[in-house]
Structure 1
């Protein structure tokens, strides 16, 4: 008997930070969970879902996942963008969760089964100076990570991307009625970053995978200079060296360095990233499994990348919920060219609301055999944590102009 969607609800909760969760229930009583968190714009995507998408879902066949995706994308005149695609992604994840639970198997079995036994992951390390960064690196190595992203302060700048100015772990979104302001100066950064990366490489040795994120701050020629300057460091990747809207600009960077390049976390469809892939301008495509329309669409992006030797590496910060993280790992087990999974971790309070089945050891995540995505959501616990306004910071250059964030 065909299962139909009988209800769909949007739940906003804030156990340490804000999350937008979609609950879909079928006529057989099967519950599917989806994530629709867009950091700093949570209420916009929640409204899009509740006011415009949920009414379209009631009565639809729950197992027609691809048809539902095409309907939500193609039937609306206004396409693409993070709010629309995160909403579609939430529906897609929930329907895959339902499909797996209905059949009693984890989602990766529905994607063709496992092609690997475990999923390589990296985490974040940060320090206001190199000494503090080394302490952070040591902590993560002790925890078992063997791939780490390194970010440090820049002398002459008070607050910069990736660094908590109070010390400790970095959380981009801050509880605030206004967006916090950071500093930026590309010349100061370019004087600091190569030496920092050289020192950290010497500190950890040749076997640890090192990653670094520029976060869209450089011009193409500045990015090319940086890539040339750090080739000997042996980075696993250099991420988001320039804003990616003009996809041709990475050609210049590619001409001047062999450092692997990663980009894509702010892009939401295959049409947004296809030129990066077709011109082989990058080595890793970083579209988020939820922000880019769910498993149904991100699989297509990664499959296109596979034709050109480009690996998938989904965005995985603390501002996507454990539901998206679980979906990324389900894809990671089944996708041949899946390269690595970002894992920033979650606030302790999030464990009150989300229960996960994935486990970490020796630098890798493994998945159990829980059906569906393998994540449970406690609705009663979620009620204890009401939404609180929070904004991502923005940056100004030393002359006062707004920089790309």
Structure 2
């Protein structure tokens, strides 16, 4: 079975997605997600101009060889654009392979390791009252684990806070020629967040798992201070407590707090974890299928992490399409050292374009039993939602200095 064609479709059913469609000479069609939020067209060009011509005529079953061909053969390794492109090809080929076998993908990855996939939801609010309402809504959806993000006095709404009442998709790249600029002050944040945790824990009890995303904004010693201040409220984890590039900084945090740490959504290769995992500086691996070389790439990372006791917690924002989420769910089902799955819920016209076989209810997923990934892509629907230029926000300190978003 040979690859006959590889086509890239960019569409925006509420936000931009990049989808690779691989067709074989036997008529099987596999799809992969190549979305890189705010840099979508860079990956689309990489695929269209450089990768697709290399795929035509290749053995569609040679998933590992094709992965190595695109990774080693380019000479320029790693990086989000390259790894998102490789991921799209890899996921599409796994989709084809599982369809050819007549099985859902998780069966080819070793079969079930669990009966269901636990997920955490996102709650947010401009203040503690709004946040509490959002937490209650997630509980009513069945979530037993909830990420809490709240506006910080003096900082404005900030990261993870929707400007749209009741919206799930509250982190969209803003449509326009320039990013939105937000304001950040670490001092007010560090003073406010412990009170938020105390109130939410008091209202909702000890059984609800609470997660929080710092989004790389604190120095190592500030992150250590935050972790220690939150220990009485037993967070499930703190995510991205300091900048991801300085992995040694996690030692400082580890020395001062026992709160579990999660990191990795901006990492795109197993190489990014060569210090974090052997030194046991994190507890949860947050890389995405879409940004870390696909099923093949992420499985390597997760199996490496399992050696050191780190569990999977695959990145699942809405800028990863249902194709990327479906691939994550198949890995979640098969991977022994699974921890939890992020679920930021797609809404509205996304499901005009992507017909999914997975199901979510009562806080857990099922990957579905359709052969392959279980996601079908509607080209005609996608054509109704053309690409719109959009950017993620940027962040500035109160004095105007550009900071980490």
TM-score (norm 1): 0.98
Q: Secondary structure at the match of 1:277?
A: coil
1:383 corresponds to which residue? 383
Partner of 1:149: 147
- Could you report, residue by residue, the CA deviation over 1:335-368 in whole angstroms, capped at 9, with x for unpaired residues? 0011111010113110100011111122110122
User: What is the aligned partner in structure 1 of residue 288 from structure 2?
Assistant: 288
- Aligned residues of 1:126 and 1:168 also touching (Cα < 8 A): no
Partner of 2:102: 104
Query: What is the Cα deviation at residue 165 of structure 1?
Result: 4.1
**Residue correspondence of structure 1 range 167-316 to structure 2 within 5 A:** 167-169=165-167, 170-316=170-316
1:129 maps to what in 2?
A: 127
Q: Distance in 2 between matches of 1:65 and 1:327?
A: 15
Q: Matched residues in 1 for 2:164 and 2:240: separation?
A: 25
* Residue 353 of structure 2 is aligned to residue 353 of structure 1: yes
| Residues 150-175 of structure 1, C-alpha deviations (whole Å, 9 max, x = no match) | 00000011231111245443123121
* 1:365-384 → structure 2 map (5 Å cutoff): 365-384=365-384
Question: Using a 3 Å threshold, how does the CA distance of structure 1 residues 347 and 177 change in structure 2: closer, same or farther?
Answer: farther
Output the CA distance in 1 between the equivalents of 2:160 and 2:183: 12
Report the counterpart of residue 333 of structure 2 in structure 1: 333
Q: Is the Cα–Cα contact under 8 Å of residues 312 and 338 in structure 1 kept in the other structure? A: yes
Q: Quick one: which of 139, 142, 150 aligns to 2:137? A: 139
Cα distance in 2 between the residues matched to 1:165 and 1:99: 42
| Contact 2:15–2:172 (Cα < 8 Å) also in 1 | no
Number of residue pairs matched by the alignment: 403
* Residues 137, 148 of structure 1: 8 Å contact kept: yes
Q: Which runs of 4+ in 1 moved over 3 A?
A: 165-168
Contact in 2 for aligned 1:15/1:347 (Cα 8 Å): no
Tell which deviates more after alignment, 152-161 or 218-227.
152-161
Q: Distance in 2 between matches of 1:302 and 1:271?
A: 12
Q: Which runs of 5+ in 1 are unaligned?
A: none
Alignment-derived partner of residue 77 in structure 1: 75
| C-alpha separation in 2, matches of 1:101 and 1:145 | 32
Question: CA 1:183–1:167 in 2, change beyond 3 Å: closer, same or farther?
Answer: farther
Preserved contact between residue 105 and residue 330 of structure 2 (Cα < 8 Å):
yes
Kept after mapping to 1: 8 A contact 2:34/2:84? yes
Structure-1 residue corresponding to 2:65: 67
**Secondary structure in 1 aligned to 2:274?**
helix
Task: Answer yes or no: is the 8 Å Cα contact 1:120–1:340 preserved in 2.
Answer: yes
Deviations 1:356-404 (A, max 9, x none): 1111122110122100011000011110000011110011000110111
Map of 1:86 onto structure 2: 84
Q: Can you give the 5+ residue segments of structure 2 that lack an aligned partner in the other structure?
A: none
Inter-partner Cα distance in structure 2 for 1:132 and 1:211: 17
SS at 2:400's partner residue? coil
SS in 2 for 1:123: strand
Structure 1 residue 207, shift from structure 2 partner: 0.8
